[in-house]
Amino acid sequence: MIKAVLLKIFREGVGGLMAFVSFLTSPRKIKRTPETQLLADKKVESMSLYQYFACPFCIKTRRAVHRLNIPMEYRDAQHRDSEHRNTLEQEGGQIKVPCLRIDHGDETTWLYESNDIIAYLNQQFDPSLEAALQQS
């Protein structure tokens, strides 16, 4: 029991340190025209990211969101009695973070795995990828 508590304290301490270092070394945000930023802002309204503050994979995903300059809604699913944790488990099917919730009208997609989430967000919001796709 004491081992579990000490491990949890260590894990949260290291995770908090990683989050702080990530904050200090934040990537540059993509710059868009006001019109294209408004379109990106509108597009991301149907998305939310379920995450834990100190999770390394969540930090990696939040860094990508920051770089893409999109106002993503973050939902903390860490605490056992959290409404967001319950939604993640009941509607998403599992308590696993990060998880991107994408609402399409009556249909909802739950995208797990940080690399898959980042690839999807890059495809949707990275103008350099859009330009490369249009040229090919």
pLDDT band at 26 (very low <50, low <70, confident <90, very high): confident
Long-range CB contacts (within 8 A, 24+) of 71-77:
71/41, 71/44, 72/44, 72/47, 72/48, 73/47, 73/48, 73/49, 74/48, 74/49, 75/48, 75/49, 75/50, 75/51, 75/101, 76/51, 76/52, 77/50, 77/51, 77/52
Ordered structural domains, the chain, with CATH: 2-135 (3.40.30.10)
Specify the pLDDT at position 24: 64
pLDDT in tens, 4-16: 666 666 667 766 6
Residues 58-88 have pLDDT tens digits of: 999 999 999 999 999 999 999 888 899 999 9
Confidence (pLDDT) at 120: 97
Q: What percent of the chain has pLDDT over 70?
A: 79
Specify the pTM: 0.79
The mean pLDDT value of the chain amounts to 86
